[in-house]
Structure 1
Amino acid sequence: MRILITGATGNIGKATIDALLSLKIDAEVVAGLRDIKNDVMAFEKPEFLEFQEFDFEKVDQFNKYLEGIDTLFLLRPPQISDTKKYFQPLIAEAIKLGLEHIVFLSVQGADKNSIIPHYKIEKMIMDSGIPYTFLRPAYFMQNFTTTLRKDIIEKSEVFLPAGNAKFTVVDAKDIGLVAAKILLSSEDHQNEAYDLTNNEKLTFGEMVHQINEITGQSITFKSPNLVSFFIRKSKEGVPTMLILVMIMLHYFPRFQATPDTSDSVLRITGNEPGSFKRFVVREQELLSQITK
């Protein structure tokens, strides 16, 4: 069996590959990379992997990318919002080549929100007739060590229009292990959708408090209005599309019921999902200021 992982250098793609390799699988794992020459350096044990170009913007190469692949782990690059332009031809090639299974990294609540790209991609996959599994994770803990890290390090704050909304959260490592287990036993998960969360519902104020307790810092959580948030992020050079995504992720939940937690991680992996505290303890070096 040949498994292609798209977005292989991202948090979830990398976690999935790490989990697959740790399971000592009898399968070929192909890491789809946009820039093979440079991206291959992100992997500690490249000798255990096969590397292949995979660039969503090269639509005319989809047939080449998918040739010989049995199972596809599909992630949507954040910058791609035109699902019809990129995902429709990709899925058409998957049908033509007879792919056996698509595991798609969606988001929690995608089935109820027709505005977001994940909803449209889920529908395309369902309509394709290819057996699928949708992973619908909660808010990534790793956002604190990626998109939010700059403000934590440079300004000792988390600056988001989230107010006092409570969020379900999940560790990317748990998502990766779930994905690996499903990729290796697709017959047990065909045409299923799983919400992936841990057992907590937390506000950003509560999460920042835990970071401070563990790292000994004095980070503050500031919840600006949308105008202030948009202006500041624009001045920082954040692309407009990414700012809008951040608003969608952090502002809209203030006016929605907090999603339910799920036991899917435990059921699929046999392990309890990690707590936010465990994540902070593990990643405290990334979450600590460079100069204290």
Structure 2
Amino acid sequence: MKRILVTGATGNVGLEVVRALHERPDVLVLAGVRDVQRGAEALGAYPGVRLVPFDFADAATHDAALANCDSLFLLRPPQVTDAFGGLIAKARQAGVGHIVFLSVQGAENNRFLPHHKTEQLLIAGGMPYTLLRPAYFMQNFTSTLRADLMEQHRIFLPAGKARFVLIDVRDIGDVAAIVLADPITRHHNQAYTLTAQNRLTFQQMADQLTAGLGRPIAYESPSPWRFYRTKRREGLSRGFVLIMLLLHYLPRFTATPPISDAVSRITGRPPREFADFVADNRAQLLGK
């Protein structure tokens, strides 16, 4: 039975990787969590998953978590700036046979992204890797963007008319599970860009939310300075607001990212579209 360590196991993506792996009888899922008790509560729906203490900021937890691990799902939490050189070296020393790294779309061409450096370390490291480069998460609407939807019935972002390529994190989980559990090496040393099949503006997303939720959702595109001041007054940290500005304002001046068929090629089914996400998460988006 293949032993697979999932870091960030209780986060948006990690939880979906655990869910997809748990459905497979041929793997033992090792869920890397900072707090075992809280992890048990978050992962209670997945009996048989083994909780393993793992903290990105505490190198002392890494050796035990990596011991007897066949494959590693590695993601980079937003608050972590390290490129994981030390962790990758420890994985190699522990005999980990394959690392699947959650990067971001376009990381291969943007050396300013921390994901770019991690990709380069994996490529140069000599051990089998797979790079997953997902597009803009649909689940941002059930996390960072949810407050505006709930309280103001609006999307409030400085994205103008820029078109975005999206991905449902459930599709990331499904792809990651297949790549991690595959007994054949077909996915080794490969990079996959993960997207749905439509390019949407935030106005189009607001229209689909209006149709799916049955209540009007407006789209307001403020100036960067107004967005910054508004979010700072709401209590968001300076660094987080700046990241949101980079994520939503800069695409107004760059080419729309390409669409990929990797999800359908790997899973054998089409990726979920934004309308699917809205329908499946309607209660949460309505605050029920």
TM-score in terms of structure 2 length:
0.96
- Whether 2:279 is the aligned partner of 1:281: answer yes
Cα distance in 2, alignment partners of residues 80 and 243 from structure 1: 16
Q: 2:181 aligns with which of 179, 184, 195?
A: 184
Matching residue's letter, 1:113: N
Which structure 2 residues correspond to residues 34-113 of structure 1 after superposition, within 5 A?
A: 34-83=34-83, 87-113=84-110
What's the counterpart of residue 213 of structure 2?
215
In structure 1, list runs of 5 or more residues that go unmatched: none
- Farther off after superposition, 155-164 or 102-111: 155-164
- After superposition, give the CA deviation of every residue in 1:1-54 in whole Å (9 maximum; x if it has no partner): 2100001111111111111122x3312110111111112211243422000111
What's the counterpart of residue 125 of structure 1?
122
Contact 2:175–2:266 (8 Å) recurs in 1: yes
Cα distance in 2, alignment partners of residues 289 and 66 from structure 1: 39
Contact 1:74–1:103 (8 Å) recurs in 2: yes
- After superposition, give the CA deviation of every residue in 1:184-235 in whole Å (9 maximum; x if it has no partner): 1161101000000011000011001100011111121111111111111112
What's the counterpart of residue 16 of structure 2?
15
Contact 1:154–1:289 (8 Å) recurs in 2: no
The Cα shift of 1:261 comes to 0.6
SS of corresponding position for 1:48: coil
Contact 1:40–1:46 (8 Å) recurs in 2: no
Q: Percent identity?
A: 46
Which structure 2 residues correspond to residues 167-206 of structure 1 after superposition, within 5 A?
A: 167-185=164-182, 187-206=185-204
SS of corresponding position for 1:81: coil
- Ranges of 4+ aligned residues in structure 1 off by more than 2 Å: 44-47
The Cα shift of 1:289 comes to 5.0
What's the counterpart of residue 30 of structure 2?
30
Contact 1:79–1:241 (8 Å) recurs in 2: no
Q: How many residues align?
A: 286
Contact 1:265–1:273 (8 Å) recurs in 2: yes
In structure 2, list runs of 5 or more residues that go unmatched: none
- After superposition, give the CA deviation of every residue in 1:44-102 in whole Å (9 maximum; x if it has no partner): 4342200011110002332222111110000101111233xxx1211111121121100
Contact 1:217–1:288 (8 Å) recurs in 2: no
What's the counterpart of residue 254 of structure 2?
256
**What root-mean-square deviation, in Å, do the aligned CA atoms of Structure 1 and Structure 2 show?**
1.3
- Farther off after superposition, 202-211 or 215-224: 215-224
Cα distance in 2, alignment partners of residues 15 and 135 from structure 1: 14
Q: 1:147 aligns with which of 141, 144, 147?
A: 144
Matching residue's letter, 1:41: E
The Cα shift of 1:170 comes to 0.8
SS of corresponding position for 2:101: strand
TM-score in terms of structure 1 length:
0.95
Contact 1:210–1:277 (8 Å) recurs in 2: yes
Cα distance in 2, alignment partners of residues 57 and 173 from structure 1: 27
- Farther off after superposition, 199-208 or 59-68: 59-68
Cα distance in 2, alignment partners of residues 241 and 3 from structure 1: 33
